[in-house]
A and B are shown apart, each in its own frame.
Chain A
Amino acid sequence: MKPTDIKDPEYFHKVVDCQYACPAHTPVPEYIRLIAQERYTEAYMVNWDSNVFPGILGRTCDRPCEPACRRGRVDEEPVAICRLKRVAADNRNKDDVKSLMPKGPFNPNGKKVALIGAGPAALTVARDLAPIGYEIHLYDEQKLGGGFMRSQIPSFRLPEEVLNDEVNYILDLGIHTQFNHYVSSLKEVLDKGYDAVFIGSGAPKGRDLNVAGREEGKANIHIGINWLSSVAFEHIDKIGKKVIVLGGGNTAMDCCRTARRLGGEEVKVCVRSPFSEMKASPWEKEDAIHEDIPILDNHVPVEFVIKDGKLAGMMFDKVHAAYDDKGKRKLVSTGEPPIFIEADDVLIAIGQENSFPWIERDLGLEFDEWGMPKVDETTFASTHPKVFFGGDAAFGPKNVITAVAHGHQGAVSIDLACQGKNLMDRLDPMVNLHSMKMGIHEWAYDSPVTIDDRFIVPLADKKKALSDRKLEVELGFDKLTGFKEAQRCLNCDVQTVFSEDKCIECDACVDICPTMCITFTENEESEEVLRQKLTVPANELTQDLYVSAELKTKRVMVKDENVCLHCGLCAERCPTSAWDMQKFLYNVTKTHTGCTA
């Protein structure tokens, strides 16, 4: 194999598994160390700079970082990255945070941008563009900003004041809000002379289930996301005692848990697929089960049963999953007689769709055969030079952190477009690599690896929680637990950097490495062969090999990055400092550089 090019910022970026997996590439270990040092405000700002909603995300993020976390490959469970973010948010000094944020009024640059929808994608664009002089007009049909974070995510998972705080940080940058304003025509918006329009209108249409009885029972059959938003905006405050929730995703989990709080005593989730294949995150399923909500899997809805002109329940066909040669799943009826389940109300939470009835089709903005706009995956540009998309509106329903990541890139594109520049002239990430060595056996980071298991987030009393829709269920880590959980982080951004010219091939690093990452061996043409030759074969193919140039003995140093603990022992044992531990900071370049922690 060719020697690894560690000058390529993506090489070490990939080693920081959590940051690499995070759509916004939040420098996770950087903020986790700050939490351990009780520097919560700075930890908050590192987050705010990259993911904009630390308090919200610290409670609700889909956390793609956690399944990627290196700790999960050597220990039972990954670092509780998401809940640590909440520790930073809960303990920040709000005044200090304010003073570290960009403060208006900003020098206007004469450009005006319209944002349609006030969800996380559009709010991110607002935050990135306002401080560099853009005049931002934010439209949303709701009375307050936040998008689905306000209308869908229930208050028992995301308290209103946490949401308000972080939405207001952005609105306070001098954003012109046009709430209670449904945009019914994109043409009208464009005609107002905006320099650019960002569409962050989400995927607001809930899928319906048109089986027998739907029409007759409609008074007690609700589309999940409409129902949740009616609850959020306090148009609905109760539900029948017996409730069926259809669907196996996170929306179904929020629906059933909300129903429990509005008077639902026997709430059941009925899902077509087997339990293990449900779309909901494992922790959301756990939370629902914890609130005494049975999840009945392999239940395919057949019809709504109406008695005396009123919904009485639903019939289900029991199925099992069968897989063809290609692994494609088919749900096959077990042949048992259909099952009747009683219900006063049914909530349909079987998916969401995009819908753009308000966008005229003759503006030069192209849509594909599925009714989705054609959007560039890097620039988020549409086929109309002034219109950009992001969040759920761009590629269908995802999550908050993805919407934020889109927002950053959309803002970069809008800024380039407004300057008449090529949208592909995007700046490289900002990277920085520096040694952590302070002395013999002394590093500027806590290199010892703790053996603590993942700490469990305490919950509010169940009875109390179920009687108050707004009472937050998760209590968050206290400071001490937060510190201990933070210490579980392996500091994957502190990189092992090898200098072949210094190595005397003494094997000290090989012998000390607890996880046998390092092998000195003859090089091989093929990566596959080299992987199998290592002391422990490198079978985790998503993880790179770090290969040195040829050494004096004609061998090369090969390090499998997979389970390196970043303990620094290789560097401590190296007599010649051929290994060094160097902190690698990777920051996605955004439009503004107004705040630094």
Chain B
Amino acid sequence: MTYIKPKFRHPDLQKNKLGYTIDYYEGSLSTLCAGCGHDSISGAIIRACFEANIEPHKVAKMSGIGCSSKTPAYFLSNSHGFNSVHGRMPSVATGANMANRDLIYFGVSGDGDTASIGMGQFVHVIRRNLNMVYLVMNNGCYGLTKGQDSATADCGSKNKTGNINLFEGIDLVSLGLELGAGFVAQSFSGDKGQLVPLIKAAMAHLGFALINVVSPCVTFNNNVGSTKSYDYIREHIEATSTFDFVPEMTEIKTDYSEGEIKQIAMHDGSLIQLNKLTKDWDPTNRSSAMNAMLNAKENNEFLTGLIYIDPESVETHELIQTSKTPLNQLSQSTLCPGNMALAEINADLR
């Protein structure tokens, strides 16, 4: 039995702007099944945070229960984290975010954790537009409890035991669009080239950012007939566009021909740059994004990339006008102004 990750790293590793090499963003060694898509996504999160020069102590990893929800242990060891209860990550994330708005809230959930037990919490956190990344590692099954069909399993998909799913699957992307999410993307664990910039853009987005990542479960749902297997996804994958995330102050070097290219400015000065591949799709137009999803479904395509973005979206703190300063930086007298202040409020309400 070995299973210890050696301490040595490549001697030529680059440093990011903060002076860290990528291994500073690693987590402990994964205990998931060998070949699990979730591990690849962890790898993409590590790379995205490294490349985006994220200070690890400015990140809070939030999760529920499931193999997917275990992954925060496998990336960003130097960040904060809260592994909550099954399906309840959104409310814990909401509480944390309300108390300290200065952190990046990185939520990781599974399709079971989100679309079954956690559905109630999921829809509400979207409508409140909590400033967080919500990444679903979607394998179409309950991996941790041995592979039962989940609510995102497609109708007609066959699982490992040979059973065909009779029920309609929930499409989390369409649901997010419907509920008003300001950043909606879809990707595949096996496509880091696309996933890494998407994660960077999601972290830069102010407001709720949903990324639904199909992530094959090698042990229970990678069989022939499954619509969430490596082979099936690779055969049906279509990208909305090429996708570049350009951090602020960087010169734009891509040489796309005029007309196909679209640039979207983010609130922090960074840019998203797209070269559109999908016809009649405008990523800043919600109904066109919804249409693109419907069309893809009709054509049996798995549409990936950025689906929709509203760079102007207004997040919870702005909506409810909370303090600009995190609660832990307020003095006791500000936090608890005393009986006189309470009396004043009460008098106002009389």
B230 touches A505 (CB 8 A): yes
Q: Does A261 have its Cβ within 8 Å of any Cβ on chain B?
A: no
Complex CA gap A449/B2 in Å reads 10
Contact indicator per residue, chain B 20-58, by CB within 8 Å of chain A (1) or not (0): 000000000110011111011011000000000000000
Contacts of A536 in B (CB 8 A): 10, 12-13
A568 touches B230 (CB 8 A): no
Complex CA gap A223/B218 in Å reads 74
Q: Does A508 have its Cβ within 8 Å of any Cβ on chain B?
A: yes
A507 touches B43 (CB 8 A): yes
Q: Does A460 have its Cβ within 8 Å of any Cβ on chain B?
A: no
Contact indicator per residue, chain A 506-541, by CB within 8 Å of chain B (1) or not (0): 111011101111000000000000000000110100
Closest to A566 in B: B6
B12 touches A572 (CB 8 A): no
Complex CA gap A448/B33 in Å reads 20
Contacts of B7 in A (CB 8 A): 449, 451, 514
The residue among A537, A567, A575, A576 with the most chain B CB atoms within 10 A of its own CB is A575
Complex CA gap A221/B8 in Å reads 53
Q: Does A569 have its Cβ within 8 Å of any Cβ on chain B?
A: yes
Knowing A449-B8, A536-B10 touch, does A576 contact B2 (C-beta < 8 A)?
Answer: no
Interface size on B, residues (CB 8 A): 33
A539 touches B12 (CB 8 A): yes
B35 touches A576 (CB 8 A): yes
Contacts of B33 in A (CB 8 A): 575
Complex CA gap A449/B4 in Å reads 8
A-B interface pairs (CB < 8 A), number: 101
Contacts of A517 in B (CB 8 A): 10
Complex CA gap A567/B9 in Å reads 12
Contact indicator per residue, chain A 65-108, by CB within 8 Å of chain B (1) or not (0): 00000000111000000000000000000000000000000000
A322 to chain B, nearest CB (A): 33
Q: Does A310 have its Cβ within 8 Å of any Cβ on chain B?
A: no
Closest to A511 in B: B43
A139 to chain B, nearest CB (A): 51
A569 touches B5 (CB 8 A): yes
Q: Does B66 have its Cβ within 8 Å of any Cβ on chain A?
A: no
A75 touches B3 (CB 8 A): no
B6 touches A504 (CB 8 A): no
Q: Does A116 have its Cβ within 8 Å of any Cβ on chain B?
A: no
Contact indicator per residue, chain A 438-453, by CB within 8 Å of chain B (1) or not (0): 0001110011110100
Pick the contact of A563: B11, B36, B40, B189 (CB < 8 A): B11
A449 touches B3 (CB 8 A): no
B2 touches A568 (CB 8 A): yes
A29 to chain B, nearest CB (A): 16
Closest to B2 in A: A447
Complex CA gap A449/B1 in Å reads 13
A182 to chain B, nearest CB (A): 54
Knowing A504-B230, A506-B216 touch, does A74 contact B40 (C-beta < 8 A)?
Answer: no
Complex CA gap A536/B15 in Å reads 12
Complex CA gap A36/B11 in Å reads 28
B8 touches A565 (CB 8 A): yes
Q: Does A574 have its Cβ within 8 Å of any Cβ on chain B?
A: yes
Q: Does A422 have its Cβ within 8 Å of any Cβ on chain B?
A: no
Knowing A506-B35, A575-B34 touch, does A75 contact B8 (C-beta < 8 A)?
Answer: yes
Closest to A571 in B: B34
Knowing A443-B2, A505-B190 touch, does A511 contact B39 (C-beta < 8 A)?
Answer: yes
The residue among A443, A507, A516, A539 with the most chain B CB atoms within 10 A of its own CB is A507
List residues 437-493 of chain A with CB under 8 A from any CB of chain B.
441-443, 446-449, 451
Complex CA gap A512/B13 in Å reads 16
Knowing A443-B2, A448-B6, A506-B230 touch, does A511 contact B34 (C-beta < 8 A)?
Answer: no
Pick the contact of A573: B1, B13, B34, B234 (CB < 8 A): B34
Contacts of B43 in A (CB 8 A): 507, 510-511
A572 touches B35 (CB 8 A): no
A221 to chain B, nearest CB (A): 49
Closest to B3 in A: A441
Contacts of A109 in B (CB 8 A): none
B67 to chain A, nearest CB (A): 14
A51 to chain B, nearest CB (A): 29
Contacts of B34 in A (CB 8 A): 508, 572-575
Closest to A505 in B: B190
The residue among A441, A510, A514 with the most chain B CB atoms within 10 A of its own CB is A514
Complex CA gap A536/B1 in Å reads 29
Complex CA gap A73/B30 in Å reads 27
Closest to A73 in B: B11
B70 to chain A, nearest CB (A): 15
Q: Does A290 have its Cβ within 8 Å of any Cβ on chain B?
A: no
List residues 143-196 of chain B with CB under 8 A from any CB of chain A.
189-190, 192
A514 touches B230 (CB 8 A): no
A202 to chain B, nearest CB (A): 41
A546 to chain B, nearest CB (A): 16
Contacts of B10 in A (CB 8 A): 515-517, 536, 563
Complex CA gap A536/B9 in Å reads 11
Pick the contact of B5: A507, A514, A539 (CB < 8 A): A514
Q: Does A210 have its Cβ within 8 Å of any Cβ on chain B?
A: no
Closest to A510 in B: B43
Contacts of B3 in A (CB 8 A): 441, 572
Contacts of B231 in A (CB 8 A): 504, 552
Q: Does A419 have its Cβ within 8 Å of any Cβ on chain B?
A: no
B234 touches A553 (CB 8 A): yes
B9 touches A515 (CB 8 A): yes
B42 to chain A, nearest CB (A): 7
A567 touches B13 (CB 8 A): no
Complex CA gap A447/B5 in Å reads 10
Knowing A506-B190, A507-B40, A508-B35 touch, does A442 contact B1 (C-beta < 8 A)?
Answer: yes
A575 touches B35 (CB 8 A): yes
A514 touches B8 (CB 8 A): yes
Knowing A537-B12, A575-B218, A576-B35 touch, does A567 contact B40 (C-beta < 8 A)?
Answer: no
B33 to chain A, nearest CB (A): 7
Knowing A553-B234, A574-B34 touch, does A567 contact B6 (C-beta < 8 A)?
Answer: yes
Closest to B219 in A: A575
Contacts of B2 in A (CB 8 A): 441-443, 446-448, 567-568, 572
A445 to chain B, nearest CB (A): 10
Closest to B4 in A: A448
Closest to B74 in A: A511
Closest to A578 in B: B35
The residue among A73, A74, A508, A568 with the most chain B CB atoms within 10 A of its own CB is A508
B11 touches A514 (CB 8 A): no
Contacts of B36 in A (CB 8 A): 506, 508
A504 touches B8 (CB 8 A): no
A504 touches B5 (CB 8 A): no
Complex CA gap A117/B179 in Å reads 92
Contacts of A537 in B (CB 8 A): 12
Complex CA gap A451/B5 in Å reads 11
Contacts of A515 in B (CB 8 A): 8-10
Contacts of A563 in B (CB 8 A): 8, 10-11
Known: A449-B4, A511-B39. 11 other contacts (CB 8 A): A73-B11, A441-B1, A441-B3, A451-B7, A504-B218, A506-B35, A506-B36, A508-B36, A508-B40, A552-B231, A572-B2
Residues of B in contact with A (beta carbons under 8 Å apart):
1-13, 29-30, 33-37, 39-40, 42-43, 189-190, 192, 216, 218, 222, 230-231, 234
Pairs across A and B, CB under 8 Å, 20 listed: A74-B9, A441-B1, A448-B6, A449-B7, A504-B35, A504-B231, A506-B230, A511-B43, A512-B29, A514-B5, A514-B6, A516-B9, A517-B10, A536-B12, A539-B12, A569-B5, A569-B6, A572-B34, A573-B34, A575-B35
Which 8 residue pairs are nearest across A and B when measured between Cβ atoms?
A575-B35, A449-B6, A511-B43, A74-B8, A506-B35, A507-B40, A447-B2, A575-B34
